[in-house]
Each structure stands twice: as structure tokens, then as C-alpha cells.
A = this chain, B = another copy of it.
Amino acid sequence: MTRSEASAPRSAFDSDCPSRTVLNHVASRWGTLIITCLRGGPQRFYVLRDSIGGISEKMLSQNLRLLATDGLVERRVEPSSPPQVTYALTPLGEELAEHLQSLVDWVTLRTDEILATRARHGVGDS
């Protein structure tokens, strides 16, 4: 074989590699916060919505569905009077959550320094 065509993309740096997709679900605007939020135990939909400032219900349910099909989050339906839907991390999700938590913690810890740098560079928000 000539080895001319890379056969299977192997890392998240390849746009066609499955791990790229997973990374996009997880390292996304809301993914990190949703998963981190679920570390405290199973949460109701509206609790998540209220915990994660600025998220829309649409994005929340969209991301939850995505994470559910990835096997990172489990959706439980309690058929009670006002129907209760609860979301929880799977074992796989718990594992991931630890990594994300350390990321969020680091960001929280260093934000002041970063802010100071940003002031020096001339404030650009976004």
C-alpha cells in the first residue's frame, strides 16, 4: 500500500474524527456548565435552567439530548402529577465531569489575573 491516503482520522484535530464531535458537545458554550452543574447529583430541568445563568430552554434541552445520546447524561422521567424529568450523570459522565470541574476551577481562580491582562491590552470584551 502506498500510504497515500490517511485511512482513519485519529485525533480531535481531524475534523472528521468522532472525538472531534464529542469534544464539540463537551467543550461548548453550555456543555461544560451543564455537566459541571450535574456533579451535585441529579437535577430537574428547571433547576438546571435557573442554575446556568443566561441559558435558554431551547439550548438546555438541545444540549441535554446531545449529552444523553453520548451516554454522558441520563434522562429519567417520573410519571408524577406535574411530570418530573430528572437528569443525572452516568458513570462515564462523572468521569468527564471531574476534568471539566478542574477546568472551571482553574478559570475561576485565574480570572482576576486574566482580567488584569485584558485591561493592559485595551479592553475587548465579547
CB contact under 8 A between A15 and B53, given known A23-B104, A107-B22? yes
CB contact under 8 A between A13 and B51, given known A69-B121, A106-B95? yes
B70 in contact with A92 (CB, 8 Å): no
Q: Which residues, 62 to 101 on A, are CB-close (under 8 Å) to B?
A: 65-66, 68-72, 92, 95-96, 99-100
- Chain A, interface residues (CB within 8 Å), range: 35 or more
Give the interface SS of chain A, mostly helix, strand, loop or mixed.
helix
Residues in B neighbouring A21, C-beta threshold 8 A:
125-126
Q: How long is the Cα–Cα vector from A26 to B111 in the complex, in angstroms?
A: 12
Q: Indicate with 1 or 0, residue by residue over A103-115, a CB within 8 angstroms of chain B CB atoms.
A: 1101110110111
CB contact under 8 A between A106 and B96, given known A53-B15, A68-B121? yes
